[in-house]
């Protein structure tokens, strides 16, 4: 007596689409796909197809699996166990258990089958049924009106309840039930009269529970089977800020046809928290090296956004078959990437593999509909923002320098800090001490474009914020966090910014004097006119297109 067998019902007459089982879905027929799944779980001698088709019988023969052919076969009900009683009865003499695998559920994988089998054995059940969870309000027609059945029956949430619906992808059955050897047999499985219900357990298969019952189901399954796995590898912590995370989230949001996973480097707790709020799948690097974490996900495309990559890391990714896109990468690994996008560094010469300059800066969606600032006759609002972390608390330092000037001229100050800003309490205490109603503080906003609307002048760091300010027509003063950021040469007078160098090398008096100069209308007007010529709106589509083109090239 063997432990288990697999039966694949393949009745051509019951198909909802002509030749459904032998029609190619994403390049493979439903029948071949089901056989491949079964062969990953059991040897061909323990696999049996039940069919009314000679064509399907030939597919089984060539694939090395058994088949039972009867041209008169037709299922007349949804009770598949009852419909297959004769075949299951024969198999019960040779096998302890039977796995019934439906070819019409092509998203089911061999991993699902093995996991369901494991849970079935652990539970000591008589049967396992795959189900999906749905939340619905159920109504009934009474006369010429509708009545909520659940509400009248005491349902919660306005009559909405959660139901379990059989997906018909997989059934596991203890064949002893059909031999009459079990004390408890499942009436739900249409066993002989007089037997008592056995123990049936559910197996949740929500996202892969689609059964092809229409052309629409076919189209959805094909799209899902053709999608690839894109893995974003990011870093975000106080020392480097959150720019990498924000850009990766923005790009991931544009990719809807493929599976997305984020990998966060070991130290990137801030990145984990930020991405978790967007409900993407996150994998945190463990004790193993980063390449091991990434390759374990079997990616088709890896997007590296964490500063410089090493050659050894990139060599392992390429050896693992992954296509690689690197952002702002000047490390030794950049030479091994299929595509490098260095929008913040303008010194390089763009090639097919290396794309440099502001035409590759990606603007977030919130800025697309934002109201760009006109050139107002005088400065009424100043924005202070130094990125997602602002480790040195430059925001508070700049506030103390310019606040007396702004108080004297009646200028409002908006201080905006990111989610990694660790000086929130000190800033709030400082604002209370100033007692200036024209000074406001915003922490961890999700609408930075709104903070820039209405601003006439900005004081900021040299990251991606300068591009967003240029888009919003806000001239500014720029203080770089570190040497690498100081090399972001976009933040210069030709684009509407007064670049002052590294923030810890600029004294307070210089910041005050440049601020006073920027308040003069003629200088601010020149800077505004230079920004008015810039347009970043097409860039994101260009960059995403370049990334996804690597997947198309891989498929070719």
Residues 333 and 398 in one domain: no
Please tell me the least confidently modeled range out of 161-170, 316-325, 447-456, 520-529.
161-170
CA atoms 431, 434, 438, 439: torsion sign: negative
Sequence-separated contacts (24+) of 402-411 with Cβ below 8 Å: 402/459, 402/511, 402/512, 402/515, 403/434, 403/436, 403/439, 405/512, 405/515, 405/516, 405/519, 406/382, 406/438, 406/439, 407/436, 407/438, 409/379, 409/519, 410/438, 411/379, 411/380, 411/381, 411/382, 411/438
CATH code, domain with 511:
3.40.50.2000
With 0-12 / 13-18 / 19 or more C-beta atoms within 10 angstroms meaning exposed / middle / buried, residue 310 is middle
Res. 338: pLDDT tops 50: yes
Residues 386 and 503 in one domain: yes
Residues 242 and 314 in one domain: yes
Residues 423 and 480 in one domain: yes
pLDDT score, position 379: 97
Vertex 551 angle, CA 549 and 553, to 5°: 70
Of 362, 397, 423, which residue sits at a domain end?
362
Res. 153: pLDDT tops 70: no
Residue 154 lies in a domain: no
Residues 482 and 334 in one domain: no
Q: How far is Cα 69 from Cα 57, in angstroms, rounded to an integer?
A: 7
Q: What are phi and psi of 209, to 5 degrees?
A: -95, 10
Residues 346 and 287 in one domain: yes
Res. 152: pLDDT tops 50: no
DSSP string, 53-81: -HHHHHHHHHHT-EEEE-TT----SS-HH
Q: How confident is the model over 414-438, as a mean pLDDT?
A: 95
Residues 393 and 303 in one domain: no
pLDDT digits (tens, 9 = 90+) for 523-552: 999 999 999 999 999 999 999 999 999 988
Q: Residue 305 is encoded by which pair of tokens? A: 């956004």
Q: Strand order of the sheet with strand 2-10?
A: 66-69, 47-51, 2-10, 95-101, 160-174, 127-137, 200-204
CATH code, domain with 298:
3.40.50.11190
pLDDT, mean over the chain: 90
Residue 541 lies in a domain: no
pLDDT score, position 149: 64
3-state secondary structure of 33: helix
Residues 6+ apart with CB under 8 A from 504: 392
Residues 403 and 322 in one domain: no
Residues 375 and 337 in one domain: no
Residues 292 and 169 in one domain: no
- Residue 446: which pLDDT band, with cuts at 50, 70 and 90? confident
Cβ(349)–Cβ(355) below 8 Å: no
Of 224, 240, 263, which residue sits at a domain end?
224
Is the pTM of the predicted complex or chain greater than 0.85?
Answer: no
pLDDT score, position 182: 41
Residue 62 lies in a domain: yes
Q: Residue 463 is encoded by which pair of tokens? A: 């990251």
Rounded-to-10 torsion of CA 115, 119, 122, 127: -120
Residues 217 and 259 in one domain: no
pLDDT digits (tens, 9 = 90+) for 167-203: 889 999 999 887 654 434 334 444 444 334 478 999 9
Res. 434: pLDDT tops 70: yes
Residues 384 and 265 in one domain: no
Q: How far is Cα 535 from Cα 370, in angstroms, rounded to an integer?
A: 13
Residue 549 lies in a domain: no
pLDDT digits (tens, 9 = 90+) for 102-128: 999 999 999 999 999 999 999 999 999
Res. 156: pLDDT tops 80: no
Number of domains the chain contains: 3
* Share above pLDDT 70 across residues of the chain, in percent, rounded to a whole number: 93
pLDDT score, position 209: 84
Of 313, 337, 362, which residue sits at a domain end?
362
Residue 347 lies in a domain: yes
Residue 547 lies in a domain: no
pLDDT digits (tens, 9 = 90+) for 252-310: 999 998 999 999 999 999 899 889 988 899 999 988 999 999 999 999 999 999 989 99
pLDDT score, position 384: 98
Pairing of strands 66-69, 145-148: unpaired
Residue 538 lies in a domain: no
Domain that holds residue 426: 371-531
Cβ(290)–Cβ(232) below 8 Å: no
């Amino acid at each position: 007596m063997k432990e288990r067998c697999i039966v694949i019902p393949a009745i051509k007459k019951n198909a909802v689409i002509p030749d459904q089982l032998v029609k190619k879905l994403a390049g493979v027929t439903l029948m071949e796909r089901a056989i491949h799944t079964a062969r990953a779980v059991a040897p061909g001698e323990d696999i049996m197809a039940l069919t009314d088709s000679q064509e399907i019988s030939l597919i089984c023969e060539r694939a090395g699996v058994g088949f039972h052919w009867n041209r008169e076969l037709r299922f007349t009900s949804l009770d598949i166990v009852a419909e297959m009683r004769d075949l299951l009865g024969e198999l019960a003499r040779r096998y302890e258990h039977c796995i019934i695998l439906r070819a019409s559920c092509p998203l089911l994988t061999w991993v699902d089958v093995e996991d369901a089998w494991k849970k079935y054995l652990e539970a000591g059940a008589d049967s396992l049924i795959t189900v999906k969870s749905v939340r619905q309000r159920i109504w009934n027609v009474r006369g010429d009106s509708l009545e909520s059945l659940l509400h009248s029956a005491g349902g919660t949430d306005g009559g909405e309840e959660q139901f379990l619906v059989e997906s018909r992808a997989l059934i596991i059955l203890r064949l002893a039930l059909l031999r009459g050897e079990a004390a408890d047999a499942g009436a739900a499985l249409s066993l002989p009269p007089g037997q008592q219900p056995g123990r049936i357990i559910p197996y949740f298969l929500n996202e892969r529970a689609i059964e092809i019952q229409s052309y629409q189901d076919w189209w959805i399954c094909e799209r899902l089977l053709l999608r690839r796995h894109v893995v974003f590898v990011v870093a975000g912590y106080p020392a480097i800020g959150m720019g990498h995370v924000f850009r990766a989230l923005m790009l991931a949001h544009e990719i809807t046809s493929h599976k997305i996973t984020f990998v966060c480097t070991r130290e990137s707790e801030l990145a984990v928290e930020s991405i978790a709020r967007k409900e993407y799948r996150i994998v945190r690097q463990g004790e193993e090296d980063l390449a091991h974490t990434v390759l374990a996900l079997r990616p088709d495309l890896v997007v590296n956004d964490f500063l410089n990559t090493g050659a050894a890391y990139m060599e392992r990714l390429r050896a693992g078959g992954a296509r690689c896109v690197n952002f702002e990468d000047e490390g030794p690994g950049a030479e091994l990437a299929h595509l490098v996008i260095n929008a913040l560094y303008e010194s390089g010469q763009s090639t097919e593999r290396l794309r440099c300059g502001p035409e590759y800066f990606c603007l977030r969606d919130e800025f697309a509909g934002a109201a760009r600032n006109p050139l107002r006759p005088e400065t009424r609002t100043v924005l202070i923002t130094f990125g997602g972390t602002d480790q040195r608390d430059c925001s508070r330092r700049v506030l103390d320098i310019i606040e007396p000037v702004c108080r004297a001229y009646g200028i409002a100050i908006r201080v905006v800090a990111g989610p990694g800003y660790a000086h929130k309490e000190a800033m709030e205490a400082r604002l209370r001490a100033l007692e200036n109603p024209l000074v406001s503080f915003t922490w961890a906003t999700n609408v930075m474009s709104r903070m820039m609307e209405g601003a006439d002048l900005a004081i900021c760091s040299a990251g991606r914020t300068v591009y967003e300010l240029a888009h919003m027509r806000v001239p500014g003063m720029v203080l770089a966090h570190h040497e690498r950021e100081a090399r972001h040469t976009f933040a210069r007078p030709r684009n509407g910014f007064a670049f002052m160098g590294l923030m810890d090398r600029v004294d307070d008096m210089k910041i005050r004097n440049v601020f006073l100069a920027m308040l003069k209308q003629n200088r601010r007007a020149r800077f505004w006119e230079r920004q008015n010529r810039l347009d970043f709106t097409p860039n994101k589509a260009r960059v995403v297109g370049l990334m996804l083109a690597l997947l198309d090239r891989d498929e070719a």
